[in-house]
Structure 1
């Protein structure tokens, strides 16, 4: 191929098409458990976390609720993935062999939020959320001056691989995916670019500014105990029993079980087998949807 500005532009269009194909043909998993939050600054503060506005009968004047402000913040981070293609490969029309590579880069960009979100979920046992407790903890403070403050747990201790029970049917989900700048591919192909002049190669790279953060701990329960019917029921009961600081039920309805590959078989045996081995119907059949994610391996 004759290397000139027009042909390099056409080549980049083909590269971007391959990248976008990998990006669009991939179904990410992060949106099942995380709320997308557009970010416009380097750090976004979620002062409203922990608030559960509920309706009441309007008698007399409106009752204005003073929101307890929190200083939980998520700082955007920069991520990149870059490759170099020798000029000779383009000159000799062998650049087509790189097409799958750029599709793979699109796939990597599409699934990168999955890695951020589910890695953060796994780290919830030792990472702080908005109330200054670990996201999964035994003593989240709940209550106010009127009804007192008590400690509430959203975890089970144990020595096994973690599994998670989540309520993901509300506008706010247990986790957040914060996006400052979308994933995009760029190029360095000008004759006076350092890489072209010094190394006779063209460079292509994907970058973004994003991060993941914790949302509402009340919508998530983490366990390192054995995944069985008894422990699941205990986790589900604990979540359904949660109340707001004012003492009103939060109406938490956990319907998603997130597990790593090590728990996949156990989860299917508990929730996807209709008839019990000893006879009778399995009361937990289809009690939850099962989501298996490799980031929990």
Structure 2
């Protein structure tokens, strides 16, 4: 039987912390291509400026000052935690083998968490509002005839029309200054031990506690950087969606210069996406070159 004293607890804390760090640092994620990390130092960040980046113009007369507060869009930080307890008797009986796996799980889950949030908010973009007050994926985004956002707006869709019974796939452009998804980082994960011998929970429940907490949230930026479809992932649909997306214009009528760089898919669509975008040849026998080969990368979602 182990004697539970501060020295023993310090050794256990060090081991659990190592387990947590090893698992956290070993995590491989695939959301970084389409997610920009924005540091946060308050309860929320304002992103109204996203729709007001402006463009270069010939300098005739006074400068034109682009208003950074045209839109109202903010992301509020949320608190996240995961906590487990270990009975004092398990320490006394040297029964900590399973606990090490639990805290490795803490590290793994928090390492994966920003990616999970990024993938999920993109999937839910049909019901999440973006900077222009419309859902991120919507059929009626307003685009104005004048660069200052005045005039009678046309409406533009970033959803392929149709019945939409197939798994979701999304074309995105990551070549711009902004990326389609925001991970707002307020507080990085912290692993905390509650292992004082006179801790109330130890006294009342004979239980030591270890937990991880973080703060942050995910959000969506420019709708023009993404185009969603729930139609079959075929070459014909890909051609049509790329053409529609790369025709997007800014207020004032100038093309945005959108270039599709990625296709995000669920596991069900992965094989079709590779065939459409990543295979070198459309017809391997005739050696018909694939126009998307080497230009559009397929990423498979771990959560869709």
TM-score bracket, normalised by the shorter chain, equals over 0.9
Deviation, structure 1 residue 278: 6.3
Map of 2:155 onto structure 1: 151
Summarize the Cα distance change of 1:39–1:146 in structure 2 as closer, same or farther, 3 Å threshold. closer
Map of 2:276 onto structure 1: 270
CA contact under 8 A between 2:171 and 2:228: conserved in structure 1? yes
* Secondary structure in structure 1 of the residue aligned to 2:191: strand
* Secondary structure in structure 1 of the residue aligned to 2:100: helix
Which stretch of the first structure deviates more once superposed, 249-258 or 5-14?
Answer: 5-14
> 1:65 and 2:79 equivalent?
no
Separation in structure 1 between the aligned mates of residue 151 and residue 207 of structure 2, nearest angstrom:
68
CA contact under 8 A between 1:273 and 1:285: conserved in structure 2? yes
Deviation, structure 1 residue 146: 5.9
* Secondary structure in structure 2 of the residue aligned to 1:238: helix
CA contact under 8 A between 1:154 and 1:239: conserved in structure 2? yes
Map of 2:114 onto structure 1: 113
Separation in structure 1 between the aligned mates of residue 118 and residue 96 of structure 2, nearest angstrom:
35
CA contact under 8 A between 1:147 and 1:247: conserved in structure 2? no
Separation in structure 2 between the aligned mates of residue 57 and residue 27 of structure 1, nearest angstrom:
46
Separation in structure 1 between the aligned mates of residue 294 and residue 151 of structure 2, nearest angstrom:
38
Summarize the Cα distance change of 1:61–1:69 in structure 2 as closer, same or farther, 3 Å threshold. closer
CA contact under 8 A between 2:53 and 2:66: conserved in structure 1? no
Show CA shifts across 1:205-247 (max 9, x none). 1111111111110111111111111111111112211111122
Runs of 5+ consecutive residues of structure 2 not aligned to the other structure: none
* Secondary structure in structure 1 of the residue aligned to 2:126: helix
Separation in structure 1 between the aligned mates of residue 20 and residue 252 of structure 2, nearest angstrom:
50
Question: Size of the alignment, in residue pairs?
Answer: 296
Summarize the Cα distance change of 1:130–1:192 in structure 2 as closer, same or farther, 3 Å threshold. same
TM-score, normalised on structure 1?
Answer: 0.92
Map of 2:221 onto structure 1: 215
Summarize the Cα distance change of 1:69–1:61 in structure 2 as closer, same or farther, 3 Å threshold. closer
TM-score, normalised on structure 2?
Answer: 0.90
Deviation, structure 1 residue 2: 3.2
Separation in structure 2 between the aligned mates of residue 285 and residue 221 of structure 1, nearest angstrom:
20
Deviation, structure 1 residue 123: 0.8
Q: Which of 205, 216, 219 is equivalent to 1:199?
A: 205
Map of 1:80 onto structure 2: 81
Which stretch of the first structure deviates more once superposed, 180-189 or 140-149?
Answer: 140-149
> 1:293 and 2:274 equivalent?
no
* Secondary structure in structure 2 of the residue aligned to 1:205: strand
Which stretch of the first structure deviates more once superposed, 181-190 or 254-263?
Answer: 181-190
Which stretch of the first structure deviates more once superposed, 280-289 or 38-47?
Answer: 280-289
Map of 1:178 onto structure 2: 184
Separation in structure 2 between the aligned mates of residue 238 and residue 100 of structure 1, nearest angstrom:
49
Map of 1:142 onto structure 2: 143
Show CA shifts across 1:143-185 (max 9, x none). 1366642111111132211100111233311111112221111
Compute the RMSD of aligned alpha carbons: 1.9
